[in-house]
Amino acid sequence: MRPLVRVRRATPFDPGFLARSPLLWPLEQAARRLGPHDGFPSHEALRQVFEGRPPVSFVPAAPRGRRRGSVDAAALYDGRITLERRVPTRAGCWHDLMNALVWGTFPAAKSALHARQYRSIAARVDPGARTLPPSRTPELDALALLDEGGVVVMADHPGALGAALRERNGALRAAIVAGRAEAVVFGHAIFESLVLGVSPAAVAAVVLERGASFDDVSRRLRRVDAALAAVLTDASLLQAPGELCRVDLGEALPWAPHRATQMLPGLSSS
Protein backbone atom coordinates (compact mmCIF):
# COMPACT_ATOMS: atom_id res chain seq x y z
CA MET A 1 0.00 0.00 0.00
CA ARG A 2 1.34 3.45 -0.90
CA PRO A 3 2.29 5.66 2.09
CA LEU A 4 -0.27 8.34 1.23
CA VAL A 5 -3.07 5.77 0.94
CA ARG A 6 -2.07 4.25 4.28
CA VAL A 7 -2.08 7.67 6.00
CA ARG A 8 -5.33 8.65 4.29
CA ARG A 9 -7.14 5.60 5.61
CA ALA A 10 -5.68 6.00 9.11
CA THR A 11 -6.47 9.72 9.52
CA PRO A 12 -9.93 10.50 10.93
CA PHE A 13 -11.83 13.62 9.99
CA ASP A 14 -10.59 16.78 11.66
CA PRO A 15 -12.88 19.84 11.46
CA GLY A 16 -9.82 22.05 12.01
CA PHE A 17 -7.87 20.66 9.06
CA LEU A 18 -7.38 24.09 7.45
CA ALA A 19 -5.02 25.06 10.27
CA ARG A 20 -2.55 22.34 9.26
CA SER A 21 -0.79 24.45 6.62
CA PRO A 22 -0.87 28.08 5.45
CA LEU A 23 -0.95 26.82 1.86
CA LEU A 24 -4.52 25.63 2.42
CA TRP A 25 -5.74 29.23 2.36
CA PRO A 26 -7.44 29.02 -1.10
CA LEU A 27 -9.93 26.47 0.29
CA GLU A 28 -11.05 28.58 3.25
CA GLN A 29 -14.04 30.21 1.57
CA ALA A 30 -15.37 26.94 0.13
CA ALA A 31 -14.90 25.26 3.51
CA ARG A 32 -16.71 28.13 5.23
CA ARG A 33 -19.67 27.75 2.86
CA LEU A 34 -19.69 24.03 3.63
CA GLY A 35 -20.16 24.83 7.30
CA PRO A 36 -19.07 22.92 10.41
CA HIS A 37 -19.08 19.13 10.36
CA ASP A 38 -18.06 16.58 12.96
CA GLY A 39 -17.36 14.01 10.24
CA PHE A 40 -16.83 13.86 6.50
CA PRO A 41 -19.66 15.80 4.79
CA SER A 42 -22.29 13.87 2.88
CA HIS A 43 -22.49 13.99 -0.90
CA GLU A 44 -25.51 16.27 -0.68
CA ALA A 45 -23.77 18.60 1.77
CA LEU A 46 -20.80 19.00 -0.57
CA ARG A 47 -22.99 21.02 -2.95
CA GLN A 48 -22.66 23.87 -0.47
CA VAL A 49 -18.99 24.44 -1.37
CA PHE A 50 -20.09 26.59 -4.31
CA GLU A 51 -20.89 30.28 -4.32
CA GLY A 52 -24.23 30.49 -6.10
CA ARG A 53 -25.80 27.74 -8.16
CA PRO A 54 -23.71 24.53 -8.10
CA PRO A 55 -22.29 23.70 -11.57
CA VAL A 56 -21.99 20.03 -10.59
CA SER A 57 -23.29 17.66 -7.95
CA PHE A 58 -21.30 15.09 -5.99
CA VAL A 59 -22.57 11.53 -6.21
CA PRO A 60 -21.40 8.21 -4.73
CA ALA A 61 -18.57 6.63 -6.69
CA ALA A 62 -19.32 3.15 -7.95
CA PRO A 63 -17.18 0.35 -6.51
CA ARG A 64 -14.26 -0.55 -8.71
CA GLY A 65 -14.84 -3.71 -10.63
CA ARG A 66 -14.07 -5.40 -13.88
CA ARG A 67 -15.59 -3.55 -16.82
CA ARG A 68 -17.91 -5.59 -18.98
CA GLY A 69 -18.73 -4.85 -22.58
CA SER A 70 -17.26 -2.10 -24.71
CA VAL A 71 -15.77 1.08 -23.33
CA ASP A 72 -18.15 4.02 -23.17
CA ALA A 73 -16.19 7.24 -22.69
CA ALA A 74 -19.36 9.03 -21.63
CA ALA A 75 -19.70 6.68 -18.65
CA LEU A 76 -16.14 7.19 -17.43
CA TYR A 77 -15.19 9.71 -14.73
CA ASP A 78 -14.55 12.71 -16.98
CA GLY A 79 -17.53 11.86 -19.17
CA ARG A 80 -19.92 11.84 -16.23
CA ILE A 81 -18.62 15.20 -15.07
CA THR A 82 -18.76 16.81 -18.51
CA LEU A 83 -22.03 15.35 -19.79
CA GLU A 84 -24.03 14.67 -16.61
CA ARG A 85 -22.47 17.33 -14.36
CA ARG A 86 -21.97 14.67 -11.67
CA VAL A 87 -18.67 14.13 -9.86
CA PRO A 88 -18.23 10.55 -8.56
CA THR A 89 -17.01 10.95 -4.99
CA ARG A 90 -15.95 8.43 -2.36
CA ALA A 91 -17.50 8.86 1.07
CA GLY A 92 -15.16 9.47 4.00
CA CYS A 93 -12.16 10.14 1.73
CA TRP A 94 -9.72 13.00 2.30
CA HIS A 95 -8.67 12.98 -1.36
CA ASP A 96 -12.20 13.40 -2.63
CA LEU A 97 -13.10 15.99 0.02
CA MET A 98 -10.16 18.12 -1.16
CA ASN A 99 -11.34 17.65 -4.72
CA ALA A 100 -14.80 18.94 -3.80
CA LEU A 101 -13.29 22.00 -2.09
CA VAL A 102 -11.17 22.70 -5.17
CA TRP A 103 -14.33 22.50 -7.27
CA GLY A 104 -15.90 25.10 -4.98
CA THR A 105 -12.85 27.34 -5.31
CA PHE A 106 -12.02 26.98 -9.00
CA PRO A 107 -15.24 25.82 -10.73
CA ALA A 108 -14.45 27.21 -14.19
CA ALA A 109 -10.97 25.68 -14.30
CA LYS A 110 -12.18 22.30 -13.03
CA SER A 111 -14.99 22.21 -15.59
CA ALA A 112 -12.59 23.10 -18.41
CA LEU A 113 -10.04 20.51 -17.28
CA HIS A 114 -12.46 17.60 -17.14
CA ALA A 115 -14.13 18.60 -20.41
CA ARG A 116 -10.74 18.56 -22.10
CA GLN A 117 -9.80 15.23 -20.55
CA TYR A 118 -13.11 13.75 -21.70
CA ARG A 119 -12.61 14.95 -25.28
CA SER A 120 -9.07 13.58 -25.34
CA ILE A 121 -10.09 10.19 -23.95
CA ALA A 122 -13.16 9.89 -26.19
CA ALA A 123 -11.07 10.59 -29.28
CA ARG A 124 -8.83 7.61 -28.47
CA VAL A 125 -11.55 5.01 -27.86
CA ASP A 126 -12.31 3.03 -31.00
CA PRO A 127 -15.93 1.92 -31.54
CA GLY A 128 -16.49 -1.41 -29.79
CA ALA A 129 -13.18 -1.34 -27.93
CA ARG A 130 -13.28 -3.35 -24.72
CA THR A 131 -10.29 -1.68 -23.07
CA LEU A 132 -8.79 1.77 -22.90
CA PRO A 133 -5.45 2.41 -24.61
CA PRO A 134 -2.61 1.04 -22.45
CA SER A 135 -0.97 4.42 -21.86
CA ARG A 136 -1.93 8.07 -21.63
CA THR A 137 -0.94 10.69 -24.15
CA PRO A 138 1.48 13.46 -23.13
CA GLU A 139 -1.49 15.82 -23.09
CA LEU A 140 -3.40 13.62 -20.65
CA ASP A 141 -0.26 13.31 -18.51
CA ALA A 142 -0.01 17.10 -18.34
CA LEU A 143 -3.67 17.53 -17.46
CA ALA A 144 -3.53 14.86 -14.76
CA LEU A 145 -0.39 16.41 -13.29
CA LEU A 146 -2.07 19.81 -13.11
CA ASP A 147 -5.26 18.37 -11.63
CA GLU A 148 -3.46 16.43 -8.90
CA GLY A 149 -0.23 18.35 -8.32
CA GLY A 150 -0.69 21.74 -9.92
CA VAL A 151 0.33 25.14 -8.58
CA VAL A 152 -0.77 28.30 -10.39
CA VAL A 153 1.88 31.01 -10.35
CA MET A 154 0.50 34.42 -11.27
CA ALA A 155 3.45 36.53 -12.38
CA ASP A 156 4.12 40.02 -13.68
CA HIS A 157 6.45 38.56 -16.31
CA PRO A 158 5.40 34.91 -16.78
CA GLY A 159 7.82 34.14 -19.61
CA ALA A 160 10.85 35.30 -17.69
CA LEU A 161 9.77 33.62 -14.47
CA GLY A 162 8.98 30.36 -16.24
CA ALA A 163 12.49 30.31 -17.67
CA ALA A 164 13.97 31.10 -14.26
CA LEU A 165 12.03 28.28 -12.61
CA ARG A 166 13.56 25.82 -15.06
CA GLU A 167 17.09 27.14 -14.54
CA ARG A 168 17.57 27.51 -10.81
CA ASN A 169 16.21 26.66 -7.39
CA GLY A 170 14.89 29.55 -5.34
CA ALA A 171 13.49 31.49 -8.30
CA LEU A 172 9.90 31.12 -7.13
CA ARG A 173 10.71 32.23 -3.61
CA ALA A 174 12.66 35.26 -4.88
CA ALA A 175 9.80 36.36 -7.16
CA ILE A 176 7.21 36.06 -4.40
CA VAL A 177 9.35 37.91 -1.85
CA ALA A 178 9.94 40.70 -4.40
CA GLY A 179 6.18 40.99 -5.01
CA ARG A 180 6.50 39.98 -8.66
CA ALA A 181 4.47 36.76 -8.33
CA GLU A 182 2.09 34.79 -6.13
CA ALA A 183 1.62 31.03 -5.93
CA VAL A 184 -1.78 29.40 -5.47
CA VAL A 185 -2.14 25.65 -4.99
CA PHE A 186 -4.69 24.06 -7.35
CA GLY A 187 -4.02 20.32 -7.25
CA HIS A 188 -6.24 18.47 -4.81
CA ALA A 189 -3.56 15.82 -4.15
CA ILE A 190 -1.29 18.60 -2.87
CA PHE A 191 -4.03 19.83 -0.56
CA GLU A 192 -4.56 16.29 0.71
CA SER A 193 -0.83 15.89 1.35
CA LEU A 194 -0.76 19.17 3.28
CA VAL A 195 -3.65 18.00 5.47
CA LEU A 196 -2.11 14.58 6.09
CA GLY A 197 1.47 15.79 6.59
CA VAL A 198 2.88 13.77 3.70
CA SER A 199 5.21 15.15 1.03
CA PRO A 200 3.30 15.63 -2.26
CA ALA A 201 4.11 13.06 -4.91
CA ALA A 202 4.45 15.75 -7.58
CA VAL A 203 4.32 19.53 -7.69
CA ALA A 204 4.30 21.36 -11.02
CA ALA A 205 3.57 24.99 -11.78
CA VAL A 206 1.80 26.68 -14.64
CA VAL A 207 2.93 30.31 -14.88
CA LEU A 208 0.31 32.82 -16.01
CA GLU A 209 0.00 36.56 -16.49
CA ARG A 210 -1.03 38.20 -13.22
CA GLY A 211 -2.57 41.42 -14.48
CA ALA A 212 -4.32 43.55 -11.88
CA SER A 213 -3.61 42.72 -8.26
CA PHE A 214 -6.47 42.47 -5.77
CA ASP A 215 -6.40 42.57 -1.99
CA ASP A 216 -9.82 40.91 -1.85
CA VAL A 217 -9.36 37.15 -1.63
CA SER A 218 -12.53 36.32 -3.56
CA ARG A 219 -11.48 38.48 -6.50
CA ARG A 220 -7.98 37.03 -6.48
CA LEU A 221 -9.30 33.47 -6.61
CA ARG A 222 -11.79 34.29 -9.36
CA ARG A 223 -8.93 35.81 -11.37
CA VAL A 224 -6.88 32.62 -10.97
CA ASP A 225 -9.89 30.48 -11.87
CA ALA A 226 -10.61 32.46 -15.04
CA ALA A 227 -6.97 32.58 -16.14
CA LEU A 228 -6.46 28.84 -15.65
CA ALA A 229 -9.77 28.01 -17.37
CA ALA A 230 -8.67 30.04 -20.39
CA VAL A 231 -5.43 28.08 -20.65
CA LEU A 232 -7.23 24.77 -20.32
CA THR A 233 -9.72 25.75 -23.02
CA ASP A 234 -6.90 26.46 -25.47
CA ALA A 235 -6.13 23.05 -26.99
CA SER A 236 -2.74 24.27 -28.22
CA LEU A 237 -1.51 24.65 -24.63
CA LEU A 238 -0.62 22.01 -22.04
CA GLN A 239 0.13 19.42 -24.67
CA ALA A 240 2.86 17.78 -22.57
CA PRO A 241 4.14 17.78 -18.98
CA GLY A 242 7.23 19.70 -20.09
CA GLU A 243 5.12 22.84 -20.35
CA LEU A 244 4.78 22.79 -16.56
CA CYS A 245 7.63 23.83 -14.27
CA ARG A 246 8.68 21.52 -11.44
CA VAL A 247 8.88 23.57 -8.25
CA ASP A 248 9.61 23.09 -4.56
CA LEU A 249 6.41 23.72 -2.66
CA GLY A 250 8.46 24.92 0.28
CA GLU A 251 9.48 28.00 -1.69
CA ALA A 252 5.92 29.30 -1.54
CA LEU A 253 5.11 28.23 2.02
CA PRO A 254 6.55 31.10 4.10
CA TRP A 255 4.70 33.75 2.10
CA ALA A 256 1.24 32.22 1.81
CA PRO A 257 -1.22 34.98 2.79
CA HIS A 258 -3.39 35.29 5.87
CA ARG A 259 -1.52 32.84 8.15
CA ALA A 260 1.68 32.67 10.13
CA THR A 261 4.38 30.41 8.74
CA GLN A 262 3.76 26.80 9.69
CA MET A 263 5.75 23.78 8.59
CA LEU A 264 4.48 20.25 8.19
CA PRO A 265 6.37 16.96 8.34
CA GLY A 266 7.80 16.11 4.94
CA LEU A 267 7.88 19.71 3.66
CA SER A 268 11.15 21.57 3.42
CA SER A 269 11.55 25.33 3.66
CA SER A 270 14.73 25.27 1.63
Interval 102-136: pLDDT, tens: 999 999 999 999 999 999 999 999 888 888 888 89
CA distance linking residue 236 with residue 120, whole number of Å: 13
**Is-contact 70 128, C-beta < 8 A?**
yes
CA distances from 207 to 3, 48, 111, 192, 194 (A): 30, 30, 20, 22, 22
pLDDT per residue as tens digits for the range 16-34: 999 999 999 999 999 999 9
Average pLDDT across the chain, whole number: 90
Q: How far is Cα of residue 227 from the mean position of the Cα atoms in its chain?
A: 14
pLDDT, mean of residues 226-233: 98
> Looking at residue 5, what is its pLDDT?
77
For residue 257, what pLDDT is reported?
45
Q: What is the pLDDT of residue 259?
A: 39
* Distance, CA of 136 to CA of 22 (rounded, Å): 34
pTM for this predicted structure: 0.91
pLDDT at 137 over 60: yes
Whole-angstrom distance, CA of residue 196 vs CA of residue 266: 10
The partner residues of 3 in beta bridges, in order of sequence, read none
- Residue 70, number of CB atoms within 10 A of its CB: 12
pLDDT single digits (tens) 143-200: 999 999 999 999 999 999 999 999 999 999 999 999 999 999 999 999 999 999 998 8
Q: Taking the domains of the chain in order of start, what are their residue ranges?
A: 3-255
45: phi then psi, degrees, rounded to nearest 5: -65, -30
The H-assigned helical ranges of the chain are 3-10, 28-34, 77-79, 94-105, 107-124, 138-149, 158-167, 171-177, 188-196, 217-233
Beta strands 181-185; 150-155: pairing state: antiparallel
Considering the chain, what percentage of its residues have pLDDT values greater than 90? 76
